[in-house]
C-alpha cells in the first residue's frame, strides 16, 4: 500500500508551534528536498530510506519548520494517508 502527504499535495496546510517560544512557525517544506540539488526530483521513497528518519516505517513526512520570532528551526513529522483515501 502506498501513502501520501496531504500537506505536500496541497490538500491541507501544516500549522505548528515553535517548541521554544510557542509562536506559529512557518513550514519550509519536506526535509528530503534539502538533501541535495536534485533531491526534489528523485523518488520520495528513495530519499526516505536513507534520510536517517523512520518516516517510511511510521508513514510520516518530515517537514522543516522555522520560527521567525526566535529563529529556531526544527523538524515535524506529519502523518501520511493511505492512497485512495
Q: What residues are paired with 73 via a beta bridge?
A: 66
pLDDT, position 15: 94
Percent of the chain with pLDDT over 70: 100
Q: For 10-29, how does the pLDDT look when each residue is reduced to its tens digit (9 = 90+)?
A: 999 999 999 999 999 999 99
Computed over its alpha carbons, how large is the radius of gyration of the chain? 13
* Whole-number pLDDT of residue 49: 84
Query: What is the C-alpha to C-alpha distance for residues 59 and 50, in angstroms, rounded to an integer?
Result: 15
The model's pTM: 0.86
* Alpha carbons 53 and 35: distance in angstroms, whole number: 13
Q: Region 49-60: what's the mean pLDDT?
A: 90
Query: Rounded to an integer, what is the distance from CA 20 to the centroid of its chain?
Result: 19
C-alpha cell at 48: 526516505
Amino acid at each position: 500500500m502506498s501513502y501520501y502527504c496531504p500537506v505536500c499535495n496541497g490538500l491541507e496546510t501544516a500549522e505548528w508551534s515553535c517548541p521554544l517560544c510557542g509562536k506559529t512557525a512557518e513550514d519550509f517544506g519536506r526535509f528530503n528536498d534539502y538533501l541535495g540539488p536534485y533531491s526534489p526530483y528523485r523518488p520520495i521513497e528513495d530519499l526516505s530510506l536513507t534520510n536517517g528518519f523512520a518516516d517510511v516505517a511510521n508513514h510520516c513526512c518530515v517537514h522543516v519548520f522555522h520560527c521567525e520570532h526566535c529563529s529556531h528551526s526544527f523538524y515535524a513529522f506529519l502523518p501520511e494517508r493511505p492512497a485512495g483515501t
